[in-house]
Structure 1
Amino acid sequence: MLLFRMALLLGWLALPAAGQAPTQPYPSPQTGDYELPNFRFASGETLPELRLHYTTLGQPRRDKSGRVTNAVLIMHGTTGAGGAFLNAQFAGHLFGPGQLLDATRYYLILPDAIGHGQSSKPSNGLRMQFPKYTYDDMVQADYQLLTQKLGVNHLRLVMGTSMGGMETWVWGYQHPDFMDALLPLASLPVEIAGRNRMLRKMAIDMIEMDPAWQNGQYATEPRVGLAGAASSLIMMTSSPKQMQRQAPTRTLAEAALAKTEANFYKSLDANDFIYQFDASRDYNPAPHLGAIRAPLFAINSADDQVNPPELGILEVEIKKVPRGRYILLPISDLTTGHGTHSNPAIWGPYLQELLRLTEPAPHPAAN
């Protein structure tokens, strides 16, 4: 996930030191691809084949009726990929033996969203002729992946970070009986507007105004446009407290900025980026929140520049969710702005509470 990579670059997250091999206490991940034939997007456009790449850990378990009892869907943020969760900071705190999402007990599913990772995206060849996908399309494609390819007919938990958090809200009202619990992280259940939309639009405009973009037909990445887009990203993912701590001088600040920008140039494709940042344009769960039946814990951090608490949005909207709860993490030496969504060491106790609250009545397992 881009936001997680930014936190690593700027030193906000603590991973094993250089030369220290990270441990993998959980089962080896398995990857696969699923081709969805003639996938129809909300725009009315279609693709003859939409490829979804995915990563899984563990094995599904079913009760006597054939219902899957242990599947967990985890969705990534904008520009990210499912496999990015497999790091010491996230998986190392959740997926190991005895941990909250122990992969020997749970069947963990980490898809690459449409337009991201190794799933179908504009840079595969269609460029700006790729269908203009939305979050609704992402959720529908994941639903087909689960039910048609993986044989999952029920989810123990749906959760996601940032964009994945927004998809979690959509899952809640589009498939209200499909899950036991919902955990959207670093998100709001309302239309993307205000500064959030302005920053996204500015980033897109900076790329499209670069003559090197050539209406998406560039041979080399439009570096000036990407540099402008990076300024929006840095603002959105910034943690003033952590940035000041890690770069307390002009020299350190400029060095950190240069490192972050260099990473953008290596990892971003301009057309993919435009699609990724514009995919939220029709997102708006607010009118549908009353249809969410599963218990939902919405977790944000007070230093999140994408979803600042002073907007007062969740305090109002969470009242529409029949079994919803809003949790605001206070600013601390551990929070890292928007990127706090990838640090379960901070919000793990609330996940534990949600799992306990929604523990299904025991049924004899068939396998």
Structure 2
Amino acid sequence: MAQSPAAPYPTPAAGDFALANFRFASGETLPTLTQHYTTVGQPRRDKAGRITNAVLIMHGTTGAGTSFLSDLFAGHLFGPGQPLDAAKYYVILPDAIGHGKSSKPSDGLRMKFPKYTYDDMVAANYRLLTEKLGVTHLRLVMGTSMGGMETWVWGYQHPGYMDALLPLASLPVEIGGRNRMLRKMAIDLIEMDPAWQGGNYTTEPKVGLAGAASSLIFMTSSPKQMQKLAPTRAQAEAALAQTEARLYKSLDANDFIYQFDASRDYNPAPHLAAIQAPLFAINSADDQVNPPELGILETEIKKVPRGRYILLPITDLTTGHGTHSNPAIWGQYLLELLALTGKPVR
């Protein structure tokens, strides 16, 4: 795993945790669910032996924990003197169910894999932390996009387990409107491709994946940045071809269906009053997944006893939904949240 030479944070370590007879919210079970994870830094313990410096960071849809080991993210967070200096904090980066090296449909079960939800992801991560890593309390829970939505779930399902919550690029309400329409269209386009074969394909159903990729590209796009990057037809088509090639290389059709459908039962709205820890919800004004004109967070954040909504204005640095992975833009609010919720780790 590469790391930025400009930010010499400790070398990441990877591990796996086998959860026997894991029961999903659907009632389905797996004999063994593999929960893969990456850590940066080392745990510190108090006199009673409890870990005091653990930070959980959760990735977005189609991503993995190692997605955070980039110059843009880790290079601005984990290095010496940075907000989550890994010489002080114990950073835990799990691969969500259905993603990365955790158990997923493409491992062999295909469409017979249990129909997991965000609740299942949180349950598996909770067991990873408590049963494998020995973490009984978190200094901070944070996540980007899907990981941000999981952060809201963490807040009300385990309200006394963390000091602070930082959901990025997310909304604490049921996935509806254009968001669900785009997800459903992406799933339908894969399943309508004859090459999908009910999930039993031998080669990826490229026509279906092309349609699904169009939803993904739109959702994660920034009109301003895309216009700057590709102001001509030739440049736009070249940029699109490059993006599509990357997606086709990394996506599996069945995994994609599960990943995009996992949010179907997500809805923290009725439970927001149960969140105890201070929570900063950060979104970007050019986010096509969570557009601010919906006015959702202005209303919902009032239900969170110690919640605050931060809307980042559109600038030359914001990149739409992907702004969630650029702590150079929102890192000041992370520092403020850490200062608000306790003494810094030394």
Aligned partner of 1:298 in structure 2 is: 281
Aligned to 2:164: 181
Asked if residue 50 in structure 1 is aligned to residue 28 in structure 2, the reply is no
Residue 100 of structure 1 corresponds to which residue in structure 2? 83
Choose the corresponding residue for 1:354, options 320, 328, 337.
337
Cα deviation, residue 290, structure 1: 0.2
Offset of 1:23 from its aligned partner? 3.9
**Matches of 1:41 and 1:63 in 2, distance apart?**
34
Distance 1:203 1:361 in 2: 44
Give the drift of 1:361: 9.2
Q: Cα–Cα, structure 1 residues 361 and 78, in superposed 2: closer, same or farther, change >3 Å?
A: closer
Unaligned stretches of 5+ residues in structure 2: none
User: How high is the TM-score relative to the length of structure 1?
Assistant: 0.92
Equivalent residue, structure 1, for 2:211: 228
Give the AA of the match of 2:274: A
Q: Secondary structure at the match of 2:320?
A: coil
Q: CA deviation at 1:22?
A: 4.3
Do the aligned residues in 1 keep the contact of 2:54 with 2:137 (CA within 8 Å)? yes
Counterpart selection for 1:113 from 72, 92, 96: 96
- Aligned with 2:44: secondary structure? coil
Report the secondary structure of 1:351's partner residue.
helix
Residue 272 of structure 1 is matched in structure 2 by 255
C-alpha deviation, 1:64, in angstroms:
2.0
Matched, 1:37 2:11: no
Structure 1 residues 123-150: Cα deviation after superposition (integer angstroms, max 9, x where no partner): 0000000000000000000000000000
Could you say which residue in structure 1 is the equivalent of 2:149?
166
- 1-structure distance, mates of 2:300, 2:51: 31
1:336 to 296, 319, 323: 319
Equivalents in 1 of 2:174, 2:5: separation in Å?
40
1:294 is aligned with what amino acid? Answer: A
Residues 242-289 of structure 1 deviation map (CA, whole Å, 9 limit, x = unaligned):
000110000000000111111111110000000000000000000000
CA positional deviation for 1:24:
4.6
Is 1:248 the counterpart of 2:248? The answer is no
Q: CA deviation at 1:66?
A: 2.9
Could you say which residue in structure 1 is the equivalent of 2:220? 237
**1:140-180 deviation per Cα after TM superposition (whole angstroms, max 9, x unaligned):** 00000000000000000000000000000000000000000
Q: Does 1:310 align with 2:290?
A: no
Aligned mates of 1:187, 1:356 — CA distance in 2: 23
Contact in 1 for aligned 2:7/2:80 (Cα 8 Å): no
Distance 1:22 1:230 in 2: 33
Percent identity over paired residues: 82
Q: CA deviation at 1:108?
A: 0.3
Distance 1:221 1:68, change over 3 A: same
For residues 276 and 146 of structure 1, what CA distance do their matches in structure 2 show? 22
Give the alignment's TM-score, normalised by structure 2. 0.98
Distance (whole Å) between structure 2 residues aligned to residue 308 and residue 68 of structure 1: 38
Cα deviation for residue 360 of structure 1 reads: 4.6
Cα pair 2:168 2:324 within 8 Å, conserved:
yes
Question: For the aligned residues, what is the CA RMSD?
Answer: 1.3
Look up the match of 1:219.
202
- What is the aligned residue count? 344
Is structure 2 residue 47 aligned with structure 1 residue 61?
no
